[in-house]
Chains A and B, each alone.
Chain A
């Protein structure tokens, strides 16, 4: 067995993937295995009893949104009785930021890898404030979700059809040259997204009011492209998954309680340990005591070689990690230590257009004692309060160690 060769194959599959945003559809129509009694969530599998505040809130909100429950209590009872089950987005080719809850009638982005044929999915981004992904489920939150499902989704679907899809890899490559790292900073990418869609939105048939509302919503939300980007990264990660003998990490995800990884050569097994509280800066009035442990599927960006791995591309947000552009460069340099390759598509001007570090190699993580960096938003630990800050987090080392031991059991015994 040649691990290096397997890893080269795995990484080549990741970097050659070409995710195209092709459309928007109702979740149960496109997401494999999704049905009305199933909710998808971020991170590794989790039992309701262990679910954190934001995830619980989002589950409740989704059941209210779907009309399955009329109150919080009814929603909780549905889940507790097992009438509605929870499964990771990752088990259904999907990803969602923060709580990452996707229910059957929600509209989702459909991304197709033009090279390997995978289809991946992500929900629509709600913007900042009181939002479902942070566990908020007030009427105001649900009203916004309905508007997104009805107006936003149909305007975007029409525009995407007219546009003939959007090449998300090209968009990301450009955004990295405009100060984004693709996880915590998606300002440039979101504006590029808006720029690409706007002419087609204008040609749509939804009427000027709806079109204007959608354009403003997209323009006001510096995260509007995050969810398509995550689905794109999921497509890249799925391409890398399942290479026999490969030690490349193909999934990193958190559910607000546990941080989990999966490895290309180790099938669908999750390696999990309690998620940490991110180290970061807090919005006015909040402190680390308010923070929920790390949550969300957005670590798929780091898995695919952007996000914190491309920190050197995003000097505007360096204060999250210490304060100077030099720190940002160091952050990316550190990630080269644990990755198998430099990205052929995503480059960093500040590093002389060196490719981003890509393909986390389990062996290097354990050998060097360096866990992947993750840039992340910080959720309030109570449902519905929302984002309280942003910062840096690292997965617990023991999940990489456990995966290495499992690799040895599978391949070396």
Chain B
């Protein structure tokens, strides 16, 4: 023992501590100011020898046995040694507070063992790893919220096809926001719970509409993000289609809003079929696309996000917004009947008759809302649509509507007033001979299910177009045994020389459905022919996404951005944060081997 140090000891009689506790105390004492060394041992002879060998022998006599705790402190001064010894009991009581932190698993598999209830995996790892992580989540039977961007489209397609086959949902990639069972994923606004379910490609679009709905006093049931490329031809709207089906079955959702950039045409048709199949009112806004129709059965088209929100917010109280037109007779519709007179149909057998909007419509869970005209009374039939038009603009409008909603080679609109048909012949508004022949010809094709005609009245037009058409219409309908619909669009007024009422009556007697505008006619056609679309592959997922996906309260595993995890916890969701790192620490060679091992 050197002259400039002193050794003091303390004894705790009969105090048993595990040796590691003693070592820890010893380490703590050694770090105190002025302390040179410390020894904490049970006072066995062997331990006392060890202390002596370390220069920790006190000057005073020690009265301690093998069952007593002996604490020796060598310090620069007597006071430093004394102060250190005074800390012994408090140091023995020390419990590290940091140890209470939640365990952070490093793998998805472990996280799911910690939180097996989690139906969702949130992925915000760097893009080149994201698909791998999402794929693993699908393998574990979990739905994916894929925030990461820079995921190649082939990987997106592969992920979504896999998800589709497994009845799982992949939101994204580049999905910034979603609301599931009332819990916001990623970036989400605090919005009221309600019964409007949204599907959107872009994160901010969804945020804009959900926020607007909230401001309008409405509430959100779910908001499902699809990622910006979902509605491309390559991806084929897999997620949007699944989401429509899911929201269709979600008891919390009574109205659906679908917003996106304009989809690829074939995808649009698929989506509208899926929307129709939900059996719920759906508000659609394809951004930047001027809708050729305002509504299509239970689907309503909005021209902007604002209008989409306003329409959806109004839908739960449709009676206030959409006065009921008079049923059963309608031509010409009395102007004083309200704002939606143009909606009425001219044919007794057409949809919308018999009770009008909102009342007495059966077979639709949400029809009590008064949304739309019932399609239940229309016998759906498969078949192509053929249009035999005299008017060029009407033909163009019909073609436009069909291209958007009924794409397909078999659906064609002929403008018989076009130059190629009028060579050496009068215009079909005057001479219907060609049209009558085409009418018979199209009707003879059993693949044709609907024939659209325009009947244009007025000065200069044929004196009795309906009278010429009627016998042929009657004949072809009879020949086809009811498997053919003829729909006539009659353009004219009650002051026209042909007598509008008689023209309509004649056509109707022949068995034709009569409408006033192209869009009304297309709306009438769509449920008939659109039924054929419902049977197409993908119109409804073969394996539906389980309603578990919409669980509340939400449970999720988060890989990547910690703020998403914090946000889940703040919302009362259960969540596990994975301490994710690139596979093999980013070593490409090793990661490559691991990837190959997985595909064996």
Contact = CB atoms under 8 A, between A and B. Distances in A.
A373 to B, nearest CB: 13
A285 B36 CA distance: 11
A342 to B, nearest CB: 9
B481 to A, nearest CB: 59
B162 to A, nearest CB: 19
Which one of A3, A285, A336 has the greatest number of beta carbons of chain B within 10 Å? A285
Contacts of B23: 281-283, 319, 389-390
A62 B282 CA distance: 86
Give the dominant DSSP class at B's interface: helix
Contacts of A408: 593, 596-597
Nearest to B114: A333
A333 B99 CA distance: 14
Contacts of B46: 129
A367 B583 contact: yes
Nearest to B96: A323
Contact of A284 (B20, B39, B113): B39
Contacts of B594: 363, 366-367, 404
Interface string A37-51: 000000000000000
Contacts of B205: none
A281 B24 contact: yes
19 contacts: A282-B27, A284-B26, A284-B51, A284-B56, A285-B53, A317-B18, A318-B20, A326-B100, A330-B103, A333-B103, A333-B110, A336-B110, A366-B584, A367-B107, A369-B106, A369-B585, A389-B23, A401-B590, A408-B593
B423 interface: no
The 10 closest A-B pairs by CB, nearest first: A324-B99, A285-B54, A284-B39, A281-B23, A319-B20, A323-B96, A326-B99, A408-B593, A319-B24, A368-B106
A370 interface: yes
A12 interface: no
- Decide if the interface of chain A is mainly helix, strand, loop or mixed: helix
B38 to A, nearest CB: 8
A323 B95 contact: yes
Q: Which residue, A1, A329, A368, has most C-beta atoms of chain B within 10 A?
A: A368
Contacts of B110: 333, 336-337
Contacts of A200: none
A224 B72 CA distance: 30
A247 B596 CA distance: 14
Given A285-B54, A285-B56, A401-B590, A327 B20 contact: no
Contacts of A404: 590, 593-594
Contact of A334 (B38, B40, B106, B590): B106
A391 to B, nearest CB: 9
A249 B71 CA distance: 44
A329 B103 contact: yes
Contacts of B3: none
Given A317-B20, A319-B18, A330-B103, 15 more contacts: A2-B600, A282-B23, A284-B26, A284-B54, A285-B39, A285-B54, A319-B24, A324-B96, A326-B101, A337-B109, A366-B594, A369-B106, A401-B587, A412-B593, A412-B600
Nearest to B52: A285
B20 A337 contact: no
Interface string B69-104: 000100000000000000000000001100111010
Contacts of B96: 322-324, 327
Given A319-B20, A366-B584, A367-B584, A284 B99 contact: no
B99 A323 contact: yes
Contact of A319 (B21, B589, B596): B21
B581 to A, nearest CB: 6
Interface of A: 1-3, 129, 247, 281-285, 316-320, 322-327, 329-330, 333-334, 336-337, 363-364, 366-370, 389-390, 401, 404-405, 407-408, 412
Interface string B111-128: 001100000000000000
A295 B596 CA distance: 35
Nearest to B56: A284
Given A284-B50, A337-B110, A412 B99 contact: no
B131 interface: no
Nearest to A320: B20
B236 to A, nearest CB: 33
B533 interface: no
A83 to B, nearest CB: 37
Contact of B105 (A333, A363, A389): A333
Contacts of A369: 106, 581, 584-585
Given A284-B56, A326-B100, A3 B95 contact: no
Interface string B575-600: 00000010111010111011011001
Contacts of B247: none
A390 B18 CA distance: 13
Contacts of B27: 281-282
Among the interface residues B95, B103, B113, which one has the most CB atoms of the partner chain A within 10 A?
B103
Contacts of A364: 107
B191 interface: no
A386 to B, nearest CB: 10
A281 B46 CA distance: 19
B41 interface: yes
Contacts of B587: 401
A370 B578 CA distance: 14
A324 B40 contact: no
B361 interface: no
A316 B23 CA distance: 13
A368 B591 CA distance: 10
Nearest to A370: B106
A384 to B, nearest CB: 14
B107 A3 contact: no
Contacts of A282: 23, 27
Contacts of B51: 284-285
Contacts of A366: 584, 590, 594
A320 B23 CA distance: 9
B523 interface: no
A321 to B, nearest CB: 10
B135 interface: no
B153 to A, nearest CB: 26
Interface string B390-417: 0000000000000000000000000000
A118 B233 CA distance: 62
B37 interface: yes
Given A319-B24, A401-B590, A404-B593, A283 B50 contact: yes
Nearest to A184: B20
Nearest to A333: B103
A281 B51 CA distance: 16
A358 to B, nearest CB: 15
B385 to A, nearest CB: 53
B339 to A, nearest CB: 64
Contacts of A336: 110, 113
A283 B587 CA distance: 40
A405 B99 contact: no
Contacts of A2: 600
Nearest to B47: A284
Interface centre among B18, B38, B114, B589 (most CB of A within 10 A): B18
B581 A405 contact: no
Interface in B13-43: 18, 20-21, 23-24, 26-27, 37-41
